[in-house]
Amino acid sequence: MLTRSEEDHIKAVYALLQDNDSAFTKDIAERLRTKASSVTDMLKKLAEKKLVKHEPYYGVKLTAKGEAIALQLVRRHRMWETFLVNRLGFGWDEVHEVAEQMEHVASDKLIDKLDAYLGHPSFDPHGDPIPDKHGKIRARKTKRLSTCMQGDSVRIAAVSETTDGLLRLLDSKGLRIGSVLSVQEVHAFDGSMDVKPKSGAAFSLSKDVSHHLQVEAA
């Protein structure tokens, strides 16, 4: 059995490996709001348990076993977020912290039953895919809104960074998963972007925001 801290470290490594092919001590520490030295200690322990491969000074990767655990945690996290939003009526900006705790409840039967109860959802409230019980994730071809060009018409597929501030900002602009936007103009100066929703007036999104929106062709 893994401790909560071990689980959180594995999940952090997994998350960082989505963007780069090695995860670094400093970034793990930042994600977990802890210190680099603590992370080094934990990486050593996880390496002994054969859950990560740690090349000191050169970063860390997950073993197959470690990745399977990470996927299970991601599954639990996103499943609980879905429950909280779809069943209990939480806002999508309110669920992250609670799911961060619930994901550590250890019971395979619980997650299987929850999965059925929720109707085997494929995506969480932030548009992120929910791995199935074998860890399989449905592949999608998405890109960041910030990489789109003038004239592109796109649908918001997911919000990649789960900070409540960003989610509330999207709420205030009426944006949600599934919203369709056309890119009117991209400003070279600050990377901001003018977009127009299907119905309603165009408005501007900062690069900070567009960078965190995953979109697919509409």
Partner DNA sequence: ACCGTTTATTAGCCATGCCTAATCTTTTTT
Partner DNA sequence: AAAAAAGATTAGGCATGGCTAATAAACGGT
- Residue 107, interface with a second copy (CB under 8 A)? yes
- Residue 101, interface with a second copy (CB under 8 A)? yes
Contacts of 183 (CB under 8 A, 6+ apart): 145, 148, 149, 150, 151, 152, 153, 154, 193, 194, 195
Rounded to whole angstroms, what are the CA distances from 52 to 1, 7, 47, 73, 143?
16, 12, 5, 15, 28
Burial of 56 (0-12, 13-18, 19+ CB in 10 A): exposed
Residue 87 partner contact from DNA, Mn ion, a second copy, none using kind-dependent CB cut-offs of 5 to 8 Å: a second copy
| Minimal distance, residue 107 CB to a second copy, in Å | 5
Distance (Å, rounded) from C-alpha 210 to C-alpha 74?
24
| Minimal distance, residue 47 CB to DNA, in Å | 10
| Total interface residues for DNA by CB under 7 A | 25
Rounded to whole angstroms, what are the CA distances from 154 to 17, 111, 186?
26, 33, 15
- Residue 94, interface with Mn ion (CB under 5 A)? no
Q: Which of residues 47-66 bind DNA (CB under 7 A)?
A: 54, 56-59
Residue 37's identity, in one-letter code, is: S
- Residue 12, interface with DNA (CB under 7 A)? no
- Of 88 and 202, the one with the shorter C-beta distance to a second copy is 88
Which residues in this chain contact DNA in the complex, by CB under 7 A? 3, 5-6, 24-27, 33-45, 54, 56-59
Which residues in this chain contact a second copy in the complex, by CB under 8 A? 84, 87-90, 94, 97-98, 101-102, 104-107, 109-110, 113-114, 117
